[in-house]
Structure 1
Amino acid sequence: MGDEVETAAEAYEAAALPRMHDVHTDPEQPKSGDQPLPQSMIARPVKQKSPAQWAYERVILYLKNFEEKLDNDHEAAMGFAGGDAGVLRIEGMGYFDPDIITFYGVDPAGARAQLVQHVGQLNVMLRALPKKVPDAAPQRIGFRLVADLEDT
């Protein structure tokens, strides 16, 4: 046999666009899901993306949304779950198909750092750290990453 037949409901569900949804204690808090997704995220079906690419795209949106809520004195960083690895000030992000995500940056002491993680272990805690240079404009990697998604 082998020929799969989909009902109209199954075809509709499979073609549904990805969406974000969140709820906050403060009803005035903007919802991430109220923002349109970048066209590049919805132009290619999720089934055609590797787990790494799909995780990468979604973490970028969370990172950008986190940065939108920061004041001009703070930048995005990530804390590590488990162990004593500390915090990484995020300066870049990437993926390696089919299943690896990587974060580039520096630790609070200024040492270069890179986290390479399997998507099955992905666990990101975003944190706000004071800027390295107080008088400089804050670095917003999330916005740069979303712009890169739009360019691809």
Structure 2
Amino acid sequence: MQDQIKTTAEAVEAAALPRAHAVHSDPEMTCAEVEPFPEALSKQPAGRKSQAKWAYQRLIHYIRNFEKQLDEEHEVAMGFVGGAPGVLKIEGLGYFDPDIVTFYGKDSKGVRTQLVQHVSQLNVFLRATPKPKEAPQPTRIGFRLVAGLEEDEAE
């Protein structure tokens, strides 16, 4: 058994940094678990965040990482697991303390859609969908969400 002595600063830093890990068959594969977190994600220790806020922030990190891997013809969407099959093009993400995460977007027919989810039931299936042909650029909501983290932490 090895007992390591840590300074208070090291203990506080370790508590603030979330732990994540992933293994892939392709060693060059990039994934959210190994990508650096946006600075706003690390400002407050995970233990001081509500379940909803912590889930919201990690989802932003996953969405942004997923979007980094898309070509210019695809955007991120969320597929539904379990109930009726479908896809929600993610146009927004929110949380309501202490335990609700909300997805805003449109379904495959362009109908406005919103999913309100309790964090204990949270499962997110990210999927690439073709961007609308009339859109000059794909929408990258993950990068907008990261910018929103800065605003949320400032409040």
Name the counterpart of 1:29.
Answer: 29
Task: Tell whether the 8 Å contact from 1:73 to 1:134 is kept in structure 2 after alignment.
Answer: no
Task: Tell whether the 8 Å contact from 1:93 to 1:104 is kept in structure 2 after alignment.
Answer: yes
Task: Tell whether the 8 Å contact from 1:23 to 1:31 is kept in structure 2 after alignment.
Answer: no
Task: Tell whether the 8 Å contact from 2:38 to 2:61 is kept in structure 1 after alignment.
Answer: no
Q: CA RMSD in A?
A: 2.1
Task: Tell whether the 8 Å contact from 2:31 to 2:65 is kept in structure 1 after alignment.
Answer: no
2:32, 2:82 → 1: CA distance?
27
1:19, 1:148 → 2: CA distance?
23
2:123, 2:95 → 1: CA distance?
15
- Alignment pair present for 1:105 and 2:105: yes
2:93, 2:107 → 1: CA distance?
15
Q: How many residues align?
A: 146
1:136 positional shift: 1.4
Distance 1:135 1:145, change over 3 A: closer
Unaligned runs of 5+ in 2: none
Name the counterpart of 1:136.
Answer: 136
1:146 positional shift: 0.8
1:47 positional shift: 1.6
Task: Tell whether the 8 Å contact from 1:77 to 1:128 is kept in structure 2 after alignment.
Answer: yes
Tell me the alpha carbon deviations over residues 90-134 of structure 1, each in whole angstroms, 9 at most, x when there is no partner.
000000000000000000101000000000000000000001235
Which residues in structure 2 correspond to 1:1-152 (within 5 Å)? 15-16=13-14, 17-151=17-151, 152=153
TM-score by length of 2: 0.85
Superposed structure 1 runs of 4+ greater than 4 Å apart: 11-15
The aligned amino acid for 2:22 is D
2:42, 2:67 → 1: CA distance?
22
Unaligned runs of 5+ in 1: 1-6
User: How many percent identity over aligned positions?
Assistant: 56
The aligned amino acid for 2:29 is Q
1:74, 1:42 → 2: CA distance?
29
1:8 positional shift: 5.3
Task: Tell whether the 8 Å contact from 1:104 to 1:113 is kept in structure 2 after alignment.
Answer: yes
